[in-house]
Structure 1
């Protein structure tokens, strides 16, 4: 485990890490900005050249709860990582799920024997991909309920509050995971250490597997979806498919609690929010993470002999829309 050196600021002892944020979209920008503002050594890696160029020139430009802020941090493309000689104690991953294999293949030089990887992506099954690149005892899984949106290259809108839940994948990683909690706490990211993050990952996948794909397909925000008469039945059916498959993975979801959790967003502060899949597909014509959300449930359902007609259809419909919009 890397040694975290104390950093002193105005008489207060602070612990910092060499952190690389891999994927600097809306959420990656939020975490990078908040960790940077807390005094951590943050480096950025992103594959969108226009975004890299804008951040190099002007830093991350953010509407941060109504206040305009900017922060410059070193940023590289994945292809530049090896030549730059970058090293990281912690890599925080905010790539799109379908970018994991290709991007990690390019940034292998970042991962030393003491490097930990924190995966905060939406969806299910990322550990199956990441174990090719990082030992399981150096892998941390988590979810975040923060929101963020991009308004242009290097420009983001960061509104509201949120939280982070995380847990080491193997018992040996617990001490480092708890140190990450401390670092995130100092950055105002409202983290907490979980004793069952896999349950939370599946629970959040139900949020993404309902709100994300439905809002993207119907071209609406969360509140508009919630006002439709069909929304409750749609949510219940999709969540039931997630739960049926989750049981086979050793996770028992409380379907009514999950439904209430999702439905609460219809009238919450984020009701006017367009989920990330809508941002990607409808607004920017980018490929989505549907394959690691409803698509993962459909694949696992086929493996276990469980029918998942709604998840299968939603996955197919999103892929059709990707093709119609020329998503890349």
Structure 2
């Protein structure tokens, strides 16, 4: 399958590398020029569960991608939420009427943007529990196991989803079909809505936060706000399952030592965060449904304050 990875950061690099190693024709598209130059010069360098590997995968700046002759069967979206529209516009000439688009972005509501560029029936929403980290331009660290849940948006288009699942599973990405992807997306958003913002503000990894005496109270309050908003939209969530998933991430033998993507963006790389598309969405929907969201509101404001203090634009 001819696959574009739109957004070749930590997670995009993981998926692209694993799909490439499964003999799919993978092309990276990104906007970080140092990262692009390093991969073009020395290949994508990865610590893959302790093994040092290098893979030569084509990568292009999104502002130059229109120059290449390529027609994608599948686009997997891994941009930051605020970069999605610009990325899709940049690669629009590489899309055709049968191109499938799988959105694995953090956050909620991205299908409204994607539909401007591909038919609704070609859109798949998903979430992934894989993890990855950027160690510098062209260098990533891939560790632990994960999975991908996805679902077609178009009615009667499950076959499209199954084709994508097959391609992902050829690469060992543990994909499975979800009959209610919005529940899965909200469940993942609960994990991001706790670990991302809290670890970023508190300057700690996941395991360190899990050791604190306040973790249980804080996590419960934030998850309650997400569940209240989901209930207002008739999206079923199981609180016990969500809490178990969050607390399982504290494990030092799995991803406990991981610093979440928001921490990597803001604290390490001084980039704007996706807080408005995670906790910020809950705040906006809370205003819409007249539901109080004090924890999400405060966390969103703290992250934006940190962005200002660091001079991030």
* TM-score category, normalised to shorter length: over 0.9
Map residues 257-276 of structure 1 onto 2, 5 A cutoff: 257-267=241-251, 269-276=254-261
Q: Secondary structure at the match of 1:181?
A: helix
TM-score by length of 2: 0.97
Where in structure 2 are there 5+ consecutive unaligned residues?
Answer: none
Map residues 26-45 of structure 1 onto 2, 5 A cutoff: 26-45=10-29
Q: Which residue of 2 aligns with 1:13?
A: none
Tell me the CA shift for residue 127 of structure 1. 1.2
Q: Which residue of 295, 319, 324 maps to 2:280? A: 295
CA RMSD of aligned residues (A): 1.1
Per-residue CA deviations over 1:24-52 (Å, capped at 9, x if unaligned) read: 01111111111000110111101101111
Q: Secondary structure at the match of 2:64?
A: helix
Per-residue CA deviations over 1:247-272 (Å, capped at 9, x if unaligned) read: 12220212232122212222352111
Q: Which residue of 2 aligns with 1:87?
A: 71
Q: Secondary structure at the match of 1:140?
A: strand
Q: Secondary structure at the match of 1:229?
A: coil
Map residues 247-326 of structure 1 onto 2, 5 A cutoff: 247-267=231-251, 269-326=254-311
Q: Which residue of 2 aligns with 1:219?
A: 203
Note if contact 1:215-1:221 (Cα within 8 Å) is conserved in structure 2: yes
Tell me the CA shift for residue 319 of structure 1. 0.9
Q: Secondary structure at the match of 1:63?
A: strand
Tell me the CA shift for residue 78 of structure 1. 1.1
Q: Which residue of 2 aligns with 1:100?
A: 84
Q: Which residue of 1 aligns with 2:222?
A: 238
Where in structure 1 are there 5+ consecutive unaligned residues?
Answer: 1-16
Aligned residue pairs total: 312
Mean Cα deviation higher: 23-32 or 244-253: 244-253
Q: Which residue of 184, 188, 207 maps to 2:191? A: 207
Distance 1:19 1:26 in 2: 17
Note if contact 1:125-1:296 (Cα within 8 Å) is conserved in structure 2: no
Per-residue CA deviations over 1:93-146 (Å, capped at 9, x if unaligned) read: 110011111221222112211111100111111112222222211101111111
Q: Which residue of 85, 97, 101 maps to 1:117? A: 101
Note if contact 1:139-1:173 (Cα within 8 Å) is conserved in structure 2: no
Displacement over 6 Å in runs of 4+: none
